[in-house]
Copies of this chain bind each other. A is one copy, B any other.
Amino acid sequence: MNIVLKASPIPDSAIPAYSPSGRECELFESAWTRQLPLLLKGPTGCGKTRFVTHMAAKLGLPLSTVSCHDDLAAADLTGRFLLKGGDTVWVDGPLTRAVREGGICYLDEIVEARKDVAVVLHPLTDDRRILPLERTGELLEAPPGFMLVVSYNPGYQNLLKTLKPSTRQRFVAIEFDFLPRVSEIAVVSEESGLDESRVAPLVDLAHRLRSLKGHDLEEGVSTRLLVYCASLVDNGVSVRDAVLATMIEPLTDEPDVKAALIEIADAVVRQG
């Protein structure tokens, strides 16, 4: 069964801007039409959360976001009994609310959550599309308007924190990377208010630093940090101080690595 899109159309002007880097928008719409759950993979700050916000607005769907962490358990998603006036009263969690009312439930950094979370998702992500609430004895069927989206950063995975194949194989998956140079300059300029000509050398520096990932740096400079940098410059901070505070200090604590990054920054920014 297919879902008719745009049930509650939103005027284009109200949709948060998003610059696609591939065919991720078409894939998202196809997955939504076919009621398939979606998995977004990609590095920190490359725009996964922004993409989901954009698509939810475009499809006119309510969006519920849950940031996963080490202590997030299934009950944080499904709900709990709370004491009210001496009684225990059931209170829905964000996943249960989304299943009852429809819309997108987005679980950010799913690999961080406790293991029982993945299993709660299993009956929601095969052809049954159900959410059993063992504590209340309810068995909810997801309406056609419900969609599950999860994300994680493959760069962090280790032996303890991975998605089991039995979970991964329940999702259509899209890999994300940083924006192409021109798009990234445009986005950073728009978000910071700084001229594109002054943003360009900062983006070039970011590309240089991203190429060091895996060698000296655990993670490359995100687009978000570029926006921070351009904002500080736009606010009157010197380029050198802004680069140090947003593109070097947040990346490393190692004095040697920091000295090397400052050298690269000085070279690239001077050229710019």
Q: Which of A's residues lie within 8 Å of B, judged by CB?
A: 2, 23, 26-27, 30-31, 33-34, 36, 39, 41, 44-45, 49, 65-74, 76, 81-88, 91, 93-94, 97, 108-109, 112, 114-116, 118-120, 122-123, 126-128, 132, 134, 137, 153-154, 156-157, 164-166, 168-175, 191, 218-219, 221-222, 224-225, 228, 231-232, 235-237, 241, 245-246, 249-251, 253
Q: Are the C-beta atoms of A87 and B81 separated by less than 8 Å?
A: no
* A70 and B246 contact, Cβ closer than 8 Å, known pairs A84-B87, A93-B134: no
Known: A23-B241, A27-B245. A157 touches B232 (CB 8 A): no
B70 lies within 8 A of A157 (CB): no
Instruction: From the candidates B81, B83, B115, B153, name the one contacting A71 in the complex (CB within 8 A).
Output: B115
Cβ distance A149 to chain B, nearest Cβ, rounded Å: 13
> What is the interface of chain A mostly: helix, strand, loop, or mixed?
mixed
Rounded to whole Å, the gap between the CB of A147 and the closest CB of chain B is 14
Q: Assess whether B83 is in contact with A88, with CB atoms less than 8 Å apart.
A: yes
Q: What B residues does A126 contact at CB under 8 A?
A: 49, 224
Contact B236 A30 (CB under 8 A): yes
Enumerate chain B residues within 8 angstroms of A49, measured Cβ to Cβ: 126, 128
Is A170 within 8 A of B74, CB to CB? no
* Residues on B with beta carbons closer than 8 Å to the beta carbon of A114: 70-71
Contacts A30-B232, A112-B115, A191-B127; A164 near B156 (Cβ below 8 A):
yes
- Please measure, in the bound complex, the distance between the C-alpha atom of A128 and the C-alpha atom of B157, giving whole angstroms: 26
Please tell me which one of the listed residues B67, B85, B118, B249 contacts residue A175 in the complex, with CB atoms under 8 A apart.
B249
> Given known contacts A67-B119, A116-B69, is B241 in contact with A154 (CB within 8 Å)?
no
Closest 5 CB pairs of A and B: A173-B249, A165-B219, A154-B253, A69-B116, A69-B119
The reply to whether B73 and A71 form a contact with Cβ atoms under 8 Å apart is yes
CB distance from A111 to the nearest CB of B (A): 11
Nearest-CB residue, chain B, relative to A122:
B67
Given contacts A83-B86, A88-B82, A250-B39, contact A132 B65 (CB under 8 A): yes
**Which residues of the other chain, B, contact A236 by a CB distance below 8 angstroms?**
30
